[in-house]
Structure formats: structure tokens, C-alpha cells
């Protein structure tokens, strides 16, 4: 594609993504880069002001330690993940997270305060914010930090990263293309930090047709982190641990504030609280079924059992919760004032982070103080920073990690020079927005150390760049070569358009890998058949076609999704037990097994193209 200019950028540290972790990374990297006269470059596929999961804003910061102990937090996270977590990574983030939250406040993020001036807590670890502009505030600070570096700091927006650039076993950069101009980019770097979020639309979503695109997880994150680390040959962890949140139905509004702050109950159509009526089920999942709070997947599972028994729909009893909260106030005038206040908090919860839910309430005549609202399980997502765990297997902190969990630089993947944070790094769930920002900071500091200690990068041969460029732009060429063969450019035997490709991927995942339509259930036979179908889809991925730059991005999003799907199915197959009912259920291995209390890791070998499945030991730092 001669009409695509090739732009080469040289940098010391390359930050991929512009989300929460990337902003933390840029902020921290700028500080250390100044001391060592190093260059920092950040690349986002979108505009940092509103890119990634926090685009719409958030109504709470879900990780703030405050007066709680580190040990308590690590125990909470591990229990919530049914025993599968890297204590060292979780503790490392948690011990630094509060300072990040204080920075957010300093930069202008309004945090709710009580009459004594303390943060208003949603739950034990969560604090409430007026967070509609959360991402703008954080990205502004990150950009300012880069600007302060002068020529040594830059950020590129609307550039879609496609591939890692490798020099033997070391990652030395990335390639991408502008989604607005005919420009192909080559970023060469001493250290690369991937923070390109998790993935959605790998499974068929519940919102189809006119609602396609409406999902809980932001549609812009499409598996770039997983693809990037897999393609570089990095070991991956917890690829089976998808996350299925329960949300207000159809518009995906958050439930945390209702459950924790407003103390609401979810009840089935008969008025029963499944958390009480199904308590016996929790025994089967001991010891995790007995901890408090009950792990998110088990809470989901009890609800799903009610649905399977025909007891749905399930309603969040917002009406009941508001009545209970007001019932405690005797003075009538005070009660009226409190009601108004509660109502406005309820609406703000949505307006801060899921505006569509407020519209949905308004358009369906829902007044939370009077009307219960339907909640439901979403489709599966890959978000290692929330209650999922998928991501790259990274080296732990020098002072805390057991020997088996560290190999030089903190947050470095098993590939030299390639670091990961946020959704891109695995087995350290519940970092959320504040923890992802913090992990980005930790990773950037280590990446700078790597740059200082490993300054030499050999030049990449031009022929190699030319081959990658041809491959990246291939969908445009395929379309232009074959578009006139059929009357409708969407249907053509010579190629597949990205939307059709995505639907096919979603159908396979939904039906064979435990999606919504199969009630999140799967088995060896289904998974093996799913893998077989993925093989055919992989062949067709070579014939993806794009009519313009936007579709070129869609093609690459789907190539990225495919790698995430592949790793997911293989790891579901590998782990012969059911450990996270409510996220997925292996019908052929319906119970949790002690000998599977381990990490299920995998690695794709760039030389042979073969996958290797690996068990890694869980080393507890706290009991």
C-alpha cells in the first residue's frame, strides 16, 4: 500500500493505551524519565479524555484501603476469586493505591465527604465520587506530565496498535495505523508497557440488533492487550476467568451502590431473596461459599439458579431499600429532605457512570423510590482488573514476591522488555480504576529501570517492517481487489467483512464456550468442537476485508478478539473442574477440586505456533 506513509518514532519507553493504567504510567514515567533524560511516548487508539472503561465516568472508586489492613484486602481478593490470586501483586497495588486516590483528589476529582470531612464509603473498600469527569481529570494530569518533558514526552491519539515488534526474545516496539489518516506507524522502544484494556464482544451479547454495542464493558476495548502479549510469546494466566457482572437489565447500570450503600435486596418474582433461600448451596463451594462477602461469582450463581427454576425476573428492590432507610427517620420534614437526597443520589449513581440507565429509567417510568428494577447477569467479559483475572503472567515486586514469581523487573511479562498493567496483567483482580492507575505507575517505574539497565536495542531490518506493514494493511487490499465481484459489498465469496466475522466468533463462543444462550455451561465435548470451529474462523481471518480505515480497525479488533477467544477456550478445557460457578460451569466436571487449586497458564510459541498449557503453584503470603 504505497499511499500509506510510514512514520517511525523512536522512544525509550512506549506506553500502549491511554486508559487508567496508561495515565498512571505516563505520570510516573515522566517523573523518572526526567532524572535519566529518557523519552516517554504514549499511544491510544482513541482520545485519552474519554478512552477506555472510564470513558463515561464512574460513581465510585472501588479500591481505597483507608484504615483497613493490607492483609484483610489480600484475603478478600483471594477469597472472591475462589482461592486463585497472586498475593504479591494484589498487595503491591493495595499498599500504594491510596496515594493515587489522593492525587486524583488533588487534581480536582470531587470525592463525597461526610459531615466530619471523611470520604463517604460505599462498602469496606469502596468510596463514592462525583465521577462524571473522572477520566478527563486523570488524563489531563497524564498529558501535563508528558508535556513537562518537552521533546522527551509525547502522546499519540487515534492510532490503533496492531502488533508487537520483536527482536529475538525481546520486545522492542509496536506497529499500528492512524484511524483518521493513511499513515502506518512504527514505534521503536527500549521498553514497552501494554495497557490496552480487556475485551468485549467475544461472546454474543444480550443486546443485539438495534441495541448492538450496548454492553457493560466498553465496546472500544477488544482484546488488544491479550493479542499483543500472546503474539510476543508471553506466558498468560487465568485466561479461563471471565467476568460476568450482574447489572440493571438492558442498560447495564451499576448495582454496587444499591447493594452496599443503600443496602438493597435483590428478590425474585415471588419476593424471595435468593441469598437467603439458597444459602445451603454455598456449602458446596466451601471454604469460599462461607466467607464474607460471598464471592461475586457465587452471588451470581444463586441468582442464576432462581432463573433456571423459573422464578425470575429478578428485581433490585430499590423501593424497599429507600423505605427502609427513611423508616429510621422520625421527623416528617427531615424524612422528606432525606428522601429527596436519596433520590438524587440514586440518579447520580447512573448519571456519573452509565447515563443510558438513567435514560432507561426515565423512558420506562421508573421512580426508584416506588418501582423495583429488573437486574440480570450480563454476557462474559475479559477484565482482569475487576472481578475477572485474565492477563499476562508478570514478575512480582522484589521485596514481596516469592522466588517463583519474580524474574527481574516488576510487572515485566515473561518476554524481555514487555511490561503489563491493569487489565493487561493477570491474577491480580479487584484493582479497579485506582489500582489500575497505581499498577501503571509501578510498571512504568520498573520499565524505566529496565531502560536504564538495558539501553541497547538493535535496529529492526527494513524488510521486516515492510512485511508487517503489508500484513497490517492487507484487509484494504483484499477489499479493493475483490469488491466488484458481487453487487452487495457486504457479501462476497472472496472475503469476510469484520461485522460478519464478529458475529461468527460470537456464535461459536456463545454456543460452545458457555455464553448466555447455553446458560454459561460448557464441557470438554463442546469446547473441543468450539476449538475446531475456531480453526476454520482463523483461516477466514486471513481474508478479512476493509473498505476504509474504520473497517481496518474493525478487522484488527477481530483479529485481537480471536486470540483472546482461543486462549479462553484452551484454558477452560485445561482446568478440569468447576471453580467459578456463576461465571461458567463445566457440566462434565461439576465440582471444585483441591488438586486444581493452582493457576492455569498458557503460552503460544511464536516459533512453532503451538500452545503450551502450564500449571503454576499458588504461593499464599497470607492465610
Selected from 197, 289, 388, 396, the binder of ligand SFD by CB under 6 A is 197
Q: Interface with ligand SFD includes 103 (CB under 6 A)?
A: no
Q: Which three cell numbers stand for residue 131?
A: 465521577
Find all residues with CB under 8 Å of 240, minimum gap 6, and list them: 390, 568, 571, 572, 574, 575, 584, 600
Please state whether 166 falls in left (phi above 0), alpha (psi between -120 and 50) or beta. Answer: beta
Can you tell me the distance from the alpha carbon of 154 to that of 159, in angstroms, rounded to the nearest whole number? Answer: 13
Could you say whether residue 81 binds ligand SFD (CB under 6 A)? no
Q: Does 201 bind ligand SFD (CB under 6 A)?
A: no
| Residue of the chain from 184, 259, 382, 437 that contacts ligand AMP (CB under 6 A) | 259
Please report how close the Cβ of residue 257 comes to ligand AMP at its closest, in angstroms.
Answer: 7
The listed partner (ligand SFD, ligand AMP, none) that binds 161, CB under 5 to 8 Å by sort, is ligand SFD
Q: Does residue number 29 form part of the binding site for ligand AMP (CB under 6 A)?
A: no
Nearer to ligand SFD, 263 or 461 (CB): 263
Q: Which is nearer to ligand SFD, 100 or 518 (CB)?
A: 100
Q: Is 299 in the site for ligand AMP (CB under 6 A)?
A: yes
Residue nearest to ligand AMP (CB): 256
171 pairs with which residues across the strands? Answer: 166
The answer to whether residues 375 and 314 touch, using CB atoms and an 8 Å cutoff, is yes
Cell, residue 57: 465516568
DSSP one-letter code for 257? I
Q: Does 388 bind ligand SFD (CB under 6 A)?
A: no
> Closest separation between CB of residue 49 and ligand SFD, Å?
10
Owner of C-alpha cell 417510568: 365
CA distance 565 to 203: 9
C-alpha cell read off for 198: 480487556
- For position 260 contacting ligand AMP by CB under 6 A, the verdict is yes
Distances (CA, A) of 233 to 413, 428, 520, 611: 10, 21, 30, 10
The one of ligand AMP, ligand SFD, none whose footprint includes residue 457, by CB under 5 to 8 A per kind, is none
Going by the DSSP 8-state scheme, the letter that residue 544 receives in this structure is: B
DSSP character at residue 615? E
Residue 466: active-site member = no
Contact letters (x/-) for ligand AMP, 89-128, by CB under 6 A? ----------------------------------x--x--
Q: How far is the CB of 612 from ligand SFD (least distance, A)?
A: 26
Binding partner of residue 123 among ligand AMP, ligand SFD, none, CB cut-off 5 to 8 Å per kind: ligand AMP
One residue of 11, 433, 438, 506 binding ligand SFD per CB under 6 A = 433
Q: Give the DSSP letter string of 109-122.
A: --B-B-TTSPBPBS
C-beta of 617: minimal distance to ligand AMP in Å?
A: 26
Q: What is d(CA 60, CA 232) in angstroms, rounded to the nearest whole number?
A: 35
Question: Which strand (E) or helix (H) includes residue 139?
Answer: helix 134-147
Q: Which three cell numbers stand for residue 40?
A: 516517554
432 binds ligand SFD (CB under 6 A): yes
Say which residues have a Cβ less than 8 Å from residue 276's Cβ, sequence separation at least 6. Answer: none
Interacting positions 296-355 with ligand SFD (CB under 6 A): none
**CB-wise, 123 or 519, nearer to ligand AMP?**
123
Answer yes or no whether residue 386 interacts with ligand SFD by CB under 6 A.
Answer: yes
Strand partners, 420: 194
Q: How far is the CB of 97 from ligand SFD (least distance, A)?
A: 10
- 3-state class (DSSP) for residue 533: helix
Distances, alpha carbon 149 to alpha carbons 28, 48, 365, 450, in Å? 12, 18, 52, 19
Nearest to 574 by CA among 240, 243, 242, 297: 240
Q: Applying CB under 6 A, does 24 fall inside the site for ligand AMP?
A: no
Q: Could you say whether residue 221 binds ligand SFD (CB under 6 A)?
A: yes
370: annotated active-site residue:
no
CB-CB contact of 410 with 93 (8 Å): no
**Residue 189 grid cell:** 522502544
Beta strands in 132-219 (DSSP E): 153-156, 159-167, 170-178, 183-188, 191-194
Residue of 51, 59, 238, 433 marked active site? 433
Closest distance of CB 313 from ligand AMP, Å: 18
Are residues 412 and 449 in contact, defined by beta-carbon separation less than 8 angstroms?
Answer: no
Residue from 110, 219, 293, 489 that binds ligand AMP (CB under 6 A)?
A: 293
Q: Rounded to an integer, what distance in angstroms lies between the CA atom of residue 344 and that of residue 341? A: 5
Q: Does 413 bind ligand SFD (CB under 6 A)?
A: no
Q: Among the candidate windows 183-191, 235-243, 293-301, 304-312, which touches ligand AMP by CB under 6 A?
A: 293-301
| 60 binding ligand SFD? (CB under 6 A) | yes
Is 385 a residue that touches ligand AMP (CB under 6 A)? no
Enter the DSSP assignment of 283: G
Nearest residue to 293 (alpha-carbon basis) of 323, 263, 335, 248: 263
Strands 314-316 and 170-178: unpaired
Contact 582, 603 (CB under 8 A): no
When the beta carbons of 231 and 386 are compared against ligand SFD, the nearer one is: 386
> Site size for ligand SFD, by CB under 6 A?
41
Select the residue interacting with ligand SFD from 92, 297, 385, 438 (CB under 6 A): 385
What does 1-17 look like in DSSP terms, one character per residue? -TTSEEEEEE-SEEEE-
Residue 519 interaction partner, one of ligand SFD, ligand AMP, none, beta carbon < 5-8 Å per kind: none
With binding defined as CB under 6 A, does residue 431 bind ligand AMP? no
User: Using CB under 6 A, which of the segments 66-74, 189-197, 329-337, 594-602 binds ligand SFD?
Assistant: 189-197
**From the list ligand AMP, ligand SFD, none, partner contacted by residue 544 (C-beta under 5 to 8 A by kind):** none
Q: Which does 22 bind (CB under 5 to 8 A by kind): ligand AMP, ligand SFD, none?
A: ligand SFD
- Is 45 a binding residue for ligand SFD by CB under 6 A? The answer is yes
What is the radius of gyration, based on Cα positions, of the chain? 24
Task: Write out the residues near ligand AMP by the rule CB under 6 A.
Answer: 62, 123, 126, 245, 254-256, 259-260, 293, 296, 299
Task: Write out the residues near ligand SFD by the rule CB under 6 A.
Answer: 16-22, 43-46, 51-54, 58-62, 160-161, 195-197, 216-218, 220-221, 224, 254, 256, 385-386, 422-423, 432-434, 436
As annotated, the active-site residues are 62, 122, 216, 247, 349, 386, 433
Amino acid at each position: 500500500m504505497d499511499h500509506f506513509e510510514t512514520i517511525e518514532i523512536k522512544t525509550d519507553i512506549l506506553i500502549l493505551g491511554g486508559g487508567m493504567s496508561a495515565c498512571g504510567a505516563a505520570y510516573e514515567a515522566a517523573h523518572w524519565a526526567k532524572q535519566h533524560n529518557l523519552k516517554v511516548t504514549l499511544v491510544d487508539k482513541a482520545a485519552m479524555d474519554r478512552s477506555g472503561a472510564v470513558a463515561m465516568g464512574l460513581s465510585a472508586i472501588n479500591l481505597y484501603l483507608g484504615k483497613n489492613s493490607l492483609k484483610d484486602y489480600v484475603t478478600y481478593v483471594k477469597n472472591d476469586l475462589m482461592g486463585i490470586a497472586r498475593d504479591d501483586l494484589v498487595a503491591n497495588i493495595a499498599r500504594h493505591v491510596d496515594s493515587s486516590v489522593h492525587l486524583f483528589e488533588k487534581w480536582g476529582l470531587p470525592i463525597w465527604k461526610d459531615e466530619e470531612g471523611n470520604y463517604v464509603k460505599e462498602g469496606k473498600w469502596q468510596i463514592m465520587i462525583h465521577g462524571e469527569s473522572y477520566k478527563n481529570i486523570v488524563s489531563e494530569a497524564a498529558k501535563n506530565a508528558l508535556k513537562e518533558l518537552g521533546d522527551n514526552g509525547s502522546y499519540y491519539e487515534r492510532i490503533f496498535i496492531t502488533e508487537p515488534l520483536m527482536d529475538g526474545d525481546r520486545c522492542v516496539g509496536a506497529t499500528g495505523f492512524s484511524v483518521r489518516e493513511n499513515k502506518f506507524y512504527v514505534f521503536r522502544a527500549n521498553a514497552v508497557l501494554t495497557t490496552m484494556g480487556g475485551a468485549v464482544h467475544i461472546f454474543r451479547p444480550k443486546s443485539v440488533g438495534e441495541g448492538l454495542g450496548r454492553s457493560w464493558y466498553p465496546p472500544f476495548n477488544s482484546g488488544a492487550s491479550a493479542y499483543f502479549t500472546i503474539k510476543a510469546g508471553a506466558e498468560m494466566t487465568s485466561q479461563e476467568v471471565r467476568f460476568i457482572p450482574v447489572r440493571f437489565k438492558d442498560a447495564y447500570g451499576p448495582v454496587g451502590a444499591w447493594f452496599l450503600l443503600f443496602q438493597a435486596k435483590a428478590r425474585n418474582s415471588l419476593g424471595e431473596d435468593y441469598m437467603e433461600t439458597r444459602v445451603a448451596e454455598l456449602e458446596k463451594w466451601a471454604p469460599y461459599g462461607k466467607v464474607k462477602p460471598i464471592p461475586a461469582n457465587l452471588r451470581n450463581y444463586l441468582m442464576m439458579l432462581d432463573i433456571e427454576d423459573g422464578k425470575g425476573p429478578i428485581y433490585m428492590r430499590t423501593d424497599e431499600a429507600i423505605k427502609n432507610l427513611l423508616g429510621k427517620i422520625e421527623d416528617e420534614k427531615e424524612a422528606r429532605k432525606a428522601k429527596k437526597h436519596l433520590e438524587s443520589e440514586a440518579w447520580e449513581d447512573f448519571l456519573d457512570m452509565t447515563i443510558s440507565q438513567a435514560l432507561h429509567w426515565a423512558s420506562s417510568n421508573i421512580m426508584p423510590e416506588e418501582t423495583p428494577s429488573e437486574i440480570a447477569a450480563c454476557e462474559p467479559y475479559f477484565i482482569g482488573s475487576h472481578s475477572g483475572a485474565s492477563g499476562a503472567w508478570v514478575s512480582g515486586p522484589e521485596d514481596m514476591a516469592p522466588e517463583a514469581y519474580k524474574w527481574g523487573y516488576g510487572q515485566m511479562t515473561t518476554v524481555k522488555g514487555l511490561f503489563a498493567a491493569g487489565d493487561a496483567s493477570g491474577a491480580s483482580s479487584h484493582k479497579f480504576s485506582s489500582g489500575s492507575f497505581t499498577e501503571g505507575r509501578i510498571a512504568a517505574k520498573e520499565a524505566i529501570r529496565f531502560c536504564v539497565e538495558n539501553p541497547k536495542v538493535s535496529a529492526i531490518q527494513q524488510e521486516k517492517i515492510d512485511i508487517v506493514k503489508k500484513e497490517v494493511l492487507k484487509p484494504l487490499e483484499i477489499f479493493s481487489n475483490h469488491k466488484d465481484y458481487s453487487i452487495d459489498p457486504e457479501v462476497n465469496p472472496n472475503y469476510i467483512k469484520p461485522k460478519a466475522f464478529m458475529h461468527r466468533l460470537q456464535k461459536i463462543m456463545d454456543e460452545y464456550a458457555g455464553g448466555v444462550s447455553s446458560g454459561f455451561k460448557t464441557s470438554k465435548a463442546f469446547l473441543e468442537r468450539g476449538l475446531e470451529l475456531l480453526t476454520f474462523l482463523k483461516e477466514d481471518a486471513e481474508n478479512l476485508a476493509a473498505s476504509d480505515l474504520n473497517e481496518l480497525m474493525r478487522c484488527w479488533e477481530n483479529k485481537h478478539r480471536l486470540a483472546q477467544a482461543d486462549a479462553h477456550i484452551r484454558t477452560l478445557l485445561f482446568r478440569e473442574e468447576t471453580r467459578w460457578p456463576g461465571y461458567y460451569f463445566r457440566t462434565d466436571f461439576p465440582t471444585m477440586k483441591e488438586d486444581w487449586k493452582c493457576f492455569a497458564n498458557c503460552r503460544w510459541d511464536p516459533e512453532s505456533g503451538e500452545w503450551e498449557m502450564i500449571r503454576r503453584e499458588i504461593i499464599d503470603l497470607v492465610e
